[in-house]
Chains A and B, each alone.
Chain A
């Protein structure tokens, strides 16, 4: 079981806002297989988010040997994580902390809603959180 993961934030109109991933060496799959799997999981997340009331949706989809977990915000922004390890608690903490960072980004008057997040500070913080929480 590898420790690779890909974290993508998808806006309300299905435009990716942010992504960060740690890919492990895989010879047979291309480096974009992670992106493909997350894209495919969007439908599952959309279906799931209307059925359940909580924001955190663990293990909402399975693609080959990888799991996709999601966190849906009130504005239909989906934080998706493709991971191969299981760590529900860690992932949940990761999502909630990134969500708080995201809220602060939204409060910036110069940030257009549903536009890609280019802030370097946000980037650095997310990477720090990923290192801290996203391990098996």
Chain B
């Protein structure tokens, strides 16, 4: 299926779901991350907790995603990437990603132009947050969702560029999705 038809599917799915205020969502997520950071000893543990939370969300989210988006049977790994990027993220976060860094049939990156979760966020430069992946919850969501429908994936932030030009938040993060074994999304 062409990318444009996935985009159209994404738009349709987005229009079918309930919308909430994005600022409210961002503030809620921000409060969550701030609390997790306070409760954790270091950034690695905070990352892990966010990932675990995302995982719990993902295993439940995938059913709703499949039901609302009307995706049929997918046969190639490439298509799963496109669907996640165009339909999945559009439906829940109203952003789309581009699939890049495609390497073999095992790993690829999702590139975002803007981070829907981190509009007003500026990470303080202390030890607790230096190595923090602010949006690690998203990785967990992907991991959980993909694990429920097929083989386990490794999802992690490869690189996040949190430029301190605060109000021109070019928050570009590259998420590496690395499959343990080559598998396809069977519905």
Contact = CB atoms under 8 A, between A and B. Distances in A.
B165 A121 contact: yes
A119 B31 contact: no
B34 A107 contact: no
Nearest to B28: A109
A109 B34 contact: yes
B27 A107 contact: yes
Given A104-B120, A119-B122, A121-B122, A109 B166 contact: no
Contact of A121 (B23, B27, B34, B166): B166
Given A108-B121, A110-B34, 10 more contacts: A104-B120, A104-B167, A107-B30, A107-B119, A109-B27, A110-B121, A111-B122, A119-B122, A121-B122, A121-B164
Interface residues of B, number: 19
A109 B30 contact: yes
Interface residues of A, number: 11
A120 B164 contact: yes
A52 B18 CA distance: 42
A53 to B, nearest CB: 27
Interface of B: 23, 27, 29-31, 33-34, 37, 119-124, 129, 164-167
Interface string A93-114: 0000000000010011111000
A29 to B, nearest CB: 36
B42 to A, nearest CB: 15
B31 A109 contact: yes
Contacts of B34: 109-110
A32 to B, nearest CB: 29
Given A120-B164, A121-B165, A121-B166, A107 B120 contact: yes
B27 A104 contact: no
B30 A108 contact: yes
